[in-house]
Amino acid sequence: MTGSSSRRAVVLLSGGLDSYTAAAMMRSEGYSLFALTVRYGQVHACELEAARRVAAALRVERHVELAVDLSVFGGSALTGDGEVELDQPPDRVGIPSTYVPARNTVLLSLALGWAEVLGARDLVIGVNALDYSGYPDCRPEYVAAFERLAGLATKAAIEGERLQVRAPLLHLSKSDIIRRGHSLGLDYGLTHSCYRPSPHGRPCGRCDSCQLRARGFAEAGVDDPAVARAEPNR
């Protein structure tokens, strides 16, 4: 492993454009990246394939894929319990069927455990509180609360090391995120965002995530390379 422990960061990498951008921003600050992708029982394997592509592009020090099957509990369309809602405004009131109960808490807890072993002091998550679907674990209050938890629950914190939850996209719009990624030279054609893709991985264009992504690229004034590269529906 390279880099001093103080410049290591554990990044939650989903294969989407947000986690890709957040990780790249940390890399631009000189951090060595250790990527964690959790197979939490999500229905579509293309998300995991995208995470592998992104990890390779970021030249992470290590990419761990860890299985923690939340589909056993159910409660989310992303784990096969119910249907993904289509053609709904992403900024509507209420929490959509794609919310996975406690997902970010589970993922950040796993990242925290790995960070302690690595001596890393930064956990990176690509949550966003502006252009998102209303998930409760994407809010600034949540990020701050988990950071407080990390300060109470770890040996490192008790011994005087401060652990931080870095959420560099928290207050950016989707278009601002895309502009930032372009300034860093990111290839968003590597990423996947759709909650209901075709069997060949083509985005549906109708779920919350597709709508937010399309709006972000339109407002940023650039084409989405993932759409251009996707295979036609069959």
In a domain, 94, yes or no: yes
Distance CA 197, CA 213 (A): 14
Asked if 205 contacts 121 with a C-beta cutoff of 8 angstroms, the reply is: no
pLDDT one-digit tens code per residue, 144-176: 999 999 999 999 899 988 899 999 999 999 999
pLDDT at 227: 79
Range of the domain at 32: 5-229
SS (H, E, C) 45-63: CHHHHHHHHHHHHHCCCEE
- Regions of the chain short of the pLDDT cut 50: 233-234
In a domain, 234, yes or no: no
What is the β-pairing status of strands 32-39 and 62-67? parallel
pLDDT one-digit tens code per residue, 2-20: 555 669 999 999 999 999 9
pTM of the model: 0.93
Paired tokens of 110: 């796993």
Total domains in the fold of the chain: 1
Helix, coil or strand: residue 81:
coil
Q: How far apart are the first and last CA of the chain?
A: 44
Other Cβ atoms within 10 Å of 56 Cβ, number = 12
Q: Where in 92-187 does DSSP place strands (E)?
A: 122-124, 164-166
- Tokens 């490192």, residue located: 156
Domain of residue 47, CATH code: 3.40.50.620
Element (H, E) at 83: none
Paired tokens of 24: 């790249």
In a domain, 120, yes or no: yes
In a domain, 65, yes or no: yes
pLDDT at 25: 98
pLDDT at 233: 45
pLDDT at 200: 82
pLDDT at 2: 52
